[in-house]
Amino acid sequence: MPGKDRSTRRHFLKAAGSAALAGTVSRVTLRPAEATPAMLNSAIRNVVGEAPLRAGKVKLDIPPLVENGNTVPMTVSVTSPMTADDYVKSIHVFNEKNPQPYIGNFYLGPSAGRAQVSTRIRLADSQKVVAIAQMSDGSFWSASVDVVVTLAACTEEL
């Protein structure tokens, strides 16, 4: 507001605030909530806790180039003897840029015989997908794949 020198700064902040808010709103309309690498890390930490996460043992099969993000075939297999005292307890799959970082949690046991799970997932953008396996001894192993998506899963208006 001109003429009121003392409150210029306040007005500026107000204006800046509402501009920022408007910016956020329009951004949300264009692309609703998006997970960030930080959300990915905290989602992983929720599962793994403070335990060390090592690369290896897990194989994540996703086509590196995906035409349609609405249905992407995915297979996770884990190298494990699957015996009563050495087996895969669970497999967790995460992503980086969907609206939320979780994709699925799969719980198996020694009777599975083979630690392998397949499903079809949605990917809202080209991004990194991470699979984590929890072994019966409490250790965690992981694998990640970068996927390029040409047609994103539909998070926009119908």
Partner 1 sequence: MASALINVPKKAKRGDIVEIRALTSHIMETGYRRTAAGEVIPRDIITNFTCRYNGREIFRADLFPAIAANPYLSFFTTATESGMFEFEWIGDNGFSQTASAAITVE
DSSP conformational letter for 83:
B
Q: Does 32 bind partner 1 (CB under 8 A)?
A: yes
**CA dihedral over 96, 144, 75, 151, signed as positive or negative:** positive
153 near 124, Cβ under 8 Å? yes
CA 83 to chain centre: 30
**CA dihedral over 114, 120, 122, 125, signed as positive or negative:** positive
Q: What is the C-alpha to C-alpha distance for residues 17 and 24, in angstroms, rounded to an integer?
A: 11
For the bound state, the minimum distance from the C-beta of residue 33 to partner 1, rounded and expressed in Å, comes to: 7
Q: Does 145 bind partner 1 (CB under 8 A)?
A: no
Q: Does 12 bind partner 1 (CB under 8 A)?
A: no
30 near 40, Cβ under 8 Å? no
Q: Does 118 bind partner 1 (CB under 8 A)?
A: yes
Q: Does 134 bind partner 1 (CB under 8 A)?
A: no
CA angle 123/144/87 to nearest 5° reads 110
Rounded alpha-carbon distances, angstroms, from residue 34 to 39, 65, 95, 121, 124: 9, 21, 11, 16, 9
CB nearer to partner 1: give 4 or 120.
Answer: 120
- Contact region with partner 1 (CB under 8 A), list: 11-19, 50-58, 95-103, 135-143: 95-103
CB nearer to partner 1: give 123 or 143.
Answer: 123
Q: Does 136 bind partner 1 (CB under 8 A)?
A: no
- Contact region with partner 1 (CB under 8 A), list: 1-9, 14-22, 25-33, 52-60: 25-33
- Contact region with partner 1 (CB under 8 A), list: 16-24, 58-66, 94-102, 136-144: 94-102
For the bound state, the minimum distance from the C-beta of residue 124 to partner 1, rounded and expressed in Å, comes to: 8
Interface residue list for partner 1 (CB under 8 A): 29, 32-33, 70-72, 75, 95, 98-100, 102-109, 111-123, 154-158
